[in-house]
Structure 1
Amino acid sequence: MHQPIFARSPRLTADRRRASRLALTAASAAIALGAAFGAPVGTAFAEAPSVTVAPASGPASFADIVDRVKGAVVAIKVKAYEESRSPFEGQELSPDDPMYRFFKRFGETPQKRMTQSQGSGFIISADGYVVTNNHVVEHATDVEISLEDGRNLPAKVIGTDKRTDLALLKVSDGNKLPYVEWSNTQPRVGDWVIAVGNPFGLGGSVTAGIVSARGRDIGAGPYDDFLQIDAPVNRGNSGGPAFDSHGQIVGVNTAIYSPSGGSVGIGFAIPTEVAKDVIAALKEKGSVSRGWIGVKIQPVTPEIADSLGLKSSKGALIAQPQKGAPAEAAGLKAGDVITAVNGEKIDNPRELARRIAAMGPNKIVDITYIRSGAEKNAKLTLGKLPEEKEARAEEEDLGGGAGGGAQLSSLGIGVAPAAQVPGAGGEGLVVVDIDPSGAAAQKGLRRGDVIVEAGGQTVNSRADLTGAIDGARKEGRRSVLLRVKSADGAKFIAVPLKQSAG
């Protein structure tokens, strides 16, 4: 625990030595100047500038805060069963192989084995509600918490939310339990943060640092809005609290960035303003109901903004509205850019997703969007966000082979009408060939993608596509905007144009 202090000491000593040398140098210069101009040497020395080094500021100790909160921080032990198969599963053995009969008989039967894992959590009420991460208790058959005083208590999972990786547990021992409270203020970058938890099963460990950044998207889910902290957290800290300098919870420690698996000073915590609402919903209903408008959205890049004639790249571009969803019922279409919800500006798709989700189902909202350069409004009633569905890409025979289809050198692709490609449907142009170094490939277009619109117009032939490209040039556009369907769904891609048509 003292190493950081010692690590800083040599640097501070070196700074002071440099300051002393600087002061002596300045004093010597003043003496020389005084002698040159006939001033008294003593006066020149007295007026020489001095340099001081301010000591590092910060709290003398976090001990008082830790004493207040440590009783509410718990270690969580989880038992679960998972299926395991033979390491040879999936490998093809010849019937003549001497091991064939053995693995045929014993190698393909799933075996259940018990696993044990550990994490952290914290009590938020005297009657024993405990917050942790979903991934700590996911698939658990038995959950036990260990209190700071050494007691072990069985815990019941009240509810989990996979999208934000939060879970709520309940324990009881017949008495009031120590608990901690959520902070009502958002921490600023540079504020102190204290992490308490159960790293590597050690229990009751405390580290401190600062909030390094806010609003981090680490690809964990659609509502990523993490605090980045440099208070060291490690395996087993998941689900533990991050406290501010007043001993209130500002985040739930969830993930780390680490090439080695240990802390390198980059940790991520779910901020209180997100966690508090999710935990309240889990306590009330055991699940979280989120609002839903039913659109696939993507960012408005500068290239897309230019292609649409927009002055700003802020907002969320609708790549595809889902059939029968609230957005389609309200008249929203692919190519519309949502810029505000209930009059509050939307900067990007992630902000739109969080805002709509937080409102919950059955709320009436006013959507502001831009279509063909004009601002419009639509009122719609939010639906309920359905359960996540896994999308799987399937390989299709695209036909044509390398060099197949009509070539467009301006984009670096070869295309063929979808009606001529088995399994591609009857609308649009299938990309059957693509130059890996071409403009389209660099922007994410892939072989097998289906171009359904270009420049806002439906395309079913090479002539349609070249006409849209020529039209974009005549309007002074630097890119042509393509609406593309792929295995991942629909999206818009703005492909830069060459000076001459292909």
Structure 2
Amino acid sequence: MSFAPLVKKSAPAVVNVYAAKTVPQRSPFAGDPFFEQFFGAQQRRQPRVQSSLGSGVVVDPSGLIVTNNHVVADADEVRVALADGREFDARLLAKDERIDLAVLKVDNREPFASLDIADSDRLEIGDLVLAIGNPFGIGQTVTNGIVSALARTHIGTNDFGFFIQTDAAINPGNSGGALIDSSGRLIGINTAIFSRSGGSNGIGFAIPSNMVRVFVEAAKTGKRFERPFVGATFTPVSRDVAEAVGLDRPRGALIENVAKDMPAAEAGLKPGDVVLAIDSFEIVDPDTLGYRLATAGIGKTVKLSVLSGNERETIELPLRPAPEKPAADRRVLKGETPFAGASVANLSPKLADDLDLPVTQTGVVVTDIQRGSLAARFGLEPKDVILTLNGDEVESTAALERMAVGARRGWRFEVERDGQRLTQVVR
């Protein structure tokens, strides 16, 4: 009736992760001509080192460590400390903000203690679990609980929103730590707590191990983790829609748009169809569908159970990477125009997916804005899609560059931002 043997077996594979980032400090008088002229030498400040603390899990004896992306994001230096006190420099192999995972690599002559990755689809509500991590930076800590819920969505901590919920105590610093089953296998990476006070209230969330597995496999091969591209956009099924199509309750992913000549269209999917299951796994909402497609992986073919009209069909969908056509043709716009200082690119399905834009979106997108530039002054933001300029449709970055310079009397342009069409006039 003790967890001690399980902890002795598993705890050595859970590490503390220290990330440091150098942050320049600006004087409150920076940019003021008077103070820069008379106090310029005094206003310069030494850069400040910003540090963060989290946890990680060794998943391969060669020194592969999984943690949360937000633990190591933008870090200049990352170190890991083992449970026995040894410390190592770590290098970043892969990271993905959308799923909040990162893989680190530590080199050592001897193999590291590691955890096997379990099949998180075999979990059941009520299973015993242990959470191991470094809460509040006080050192390695173990808490126990059960699986409170599965397939939790709309949590908002990553792009997929598909989590294991547990009542095992998870606190700040536990991020990136291990959630293990009663056999000592990794079933999730602890990532978030739901609490108004910032402390554990018995509601914690972990990224399922099946997502961790596909991310680690991509990192091992040196490839960037990619989600399969379907070429369609989805929305949740509302109660009204469920009644209209004859479903007993709101469930599934309703197809809004299908891009021409893309995998969804080739498979026979149409707007108005409802995806109810994928390879026998029920689809509750679009988040669930995104998770199931990602864990199936590129190169596979999945079977979708689809409600089309009044009939249920089984459709085979091959999973492919997002195409990169048209070519991005990235440009940094210059000159005396409202777009000066904006980095722009032609939207392809791959770039749209990377920027979390609708995959059917086309046109020219802003990817970055230089600080203090004219583009920033006139309100352009990253992920803005430039639709028209002076009444003419903007079809490419080359066309935008040419059109912007050619406009002598002023600029009237339209952008799409978060689904809204905005108009700006500059004289």
1:299 paired residue among 225, 236, 241? 236
Kept in 1: contact 2:162–2:287 (CA 8 A): no
Instruction: Flag the 1:355–1:64 CA change in 2: closer, same or farther, 3 A.
Output: closer
Unaligned runs of 5+ in 1: 1-58, 94-98, 393-421, 426-485, 491-502
Residue 223 (str. 1) matches residue 160 (str. 2): yes
Instruction: Flag the 1:325–1:80 CA change in 2: closer, same or farther, 3 A.
Output: farther
CA distance in 1, matches of 2:69, 2:36: 36
Instruction: Flag the 1:180–1:353 CA change in 2: closer, same or farther, 3 A.
Output: closer
Residue 124 (str. 1) matches residue 54 (str. 2): no
2:412 aligned partner: none
Q: RMSD between aligned alpha carbons?
A: 3.6
2:17 aligned partner: 76
Kept in 2: contact 1:160–1:286 (CA 8 A): no
Aligned 1:91-240 pairs, distance under 5 A: 101-102=34-35, 113-184=48-119, 186-217=122-153, 218-240=155-177
CA distance in 1, matches of 2:318, 2:215: 22
Shift of 1:269: 1.1
1:277 aligned partner: 214
2:8 paired residue among 60, 63, 67? 67
AA aligned opposite 1:166: L
1:469 aligned partner: none
CA distance in 1, matches of 2:6, 2:181: 9
CA distance in 1, matches of 2:299, 2:291: 16
AA aligned opposite 2:15: V
Kept in 2: contact 1:197–1:205 (CA 8 A): yes
TM normalised by structure 2 equals 0.67
1:389 paired residue among 355, 366, 373? 355
Kept in 2: contact 1:77–1:143 (CA 8 A): yes
1:254 aligned partner: 191
Kept in 2: contact 1:78–1:118 (CA 8 A): yes
Shift of 1:380: 5.2
CA distance in 2, matches of 1:131, 1:348: 28
Unaligned runs of 5+ in 2: 323-349, 359-389, 394-415, 421-427
Instruction: Flag the 1:112–1:326 CA change in 2: closer, same or farther, 3 A.
Output: farther
Q: Secondary structure at the residue paired with 1:150?
A: coil
Instruction: Flag the 1:338–1:244 CA change in 2: closer, same or farther, 3 A.
Output: closer
Instruction: Flag the 1:370–1:65 CA change in 2: closer, same or farther, 3 A.
Output: closer
Instruction: Flag the 1:253–1:325 CA change in 2: closer, same or farther, 3 A.
Output: same
Shift of 1:111: 8.9
Q: Secondary structure at the residue paired with 2:12?
A: helix
AA aligned opposite 1:382: L
Shift of 1:378: 5.7
Shift of 1:286: 4.1
Q: Write out per-residue CA displacement over residues 363-384 of structure 1, whole angstroms, 9 at most, x where no aligned residue.
A: 4555554444345666654332
Instruction: Flag the 1:65–1:341 CA change in 2: closer, same or farther, 3 A.
Output: closer
CA distance in 2, matches of 1:134, 1:313: 33
- Percentage of pairs with the same residue: 39
Instruction: Flag the 1:319–1:76 CA change in 2: closer, same or farther, 3 A.
Output: same
CA distance in 2, matches of 1:133, 1:349: 23
2:179 paired residue among 242, 251, 255? 242
Q: Secondary structure at the residue paired with 2:354?
A: coil
Shift of 1:268: 0.8
AA aligned opposite 1:203: G
CA distance in 2, matches of 1:174, 1:116: 28
Shift of 1:153: 0.6
Give the count of matched residue pairs. Answer: 333
Which piece of structure 1 moves more, 335-344 or 238-247? Answer: 335-344
CA distance in 1, matches of 2:355, 2:139: 38
Aligned 1:428-439 pairs, distance under 5 A: none
Shift of 1:116: 0.9
CA distance in 2, matches of 1:246, 1:310: 39
Kept in 1: contact 2:151–2:288 (CA 8 A): no
TM normalised by structure 1 equals 0.58
Q: Write out per-residue CA displacement over residues 385-415 of structure 1, whole angstroms, 9 at most, x where no aligned residue.
A: 43432569xxxxxxxxxxxxxxxxxxxxxxx
Choose 1 or 2 for highest CA Rg. Answer: 1
AA aligned opposite 1:140: A
Q: Secondary structure at the residue paired with 2:76?
A: strand
Kept in 1: contact 2:162–2:288 (CA 8 A): no
CA distance in 1, matches of 2:9, 2:279: 42
AA aligned opposite 1:284: T
Kept in 2: contact 1:292–1:357 (CA 8 A): no
Which piece of structure 1 moves more, 336-345 or 255-264? Answer: 336-345
Shift of 1:119: 0.7
Residue 351 (str. 1) matches residue 292 (str. 2): no
Kept in 2: contact 1:238–1:254 (CA 8 A): yes
Shift of 1:487: 5.8
CA distance in 1, matches of 2:419, 2:177: 37
Shift of 1:142: 0.9
Instruction: Flag the 1:353–1:187 CA change in 2: closer, same or farther, 3 A.
Output: closer
Q: Secondary structure at the residue paired with 1:182?
A: coil
CA distance in 2, matches of 1:373, 1:109: 70
1:338 aligned partner: 275
Q: Write out per-residue CA displacement over residues 46-74 of structure 1, whole angstroms, 9 at most, x where no aligned residue.
A: xxxxxxxxxxxxx3x22222222222221
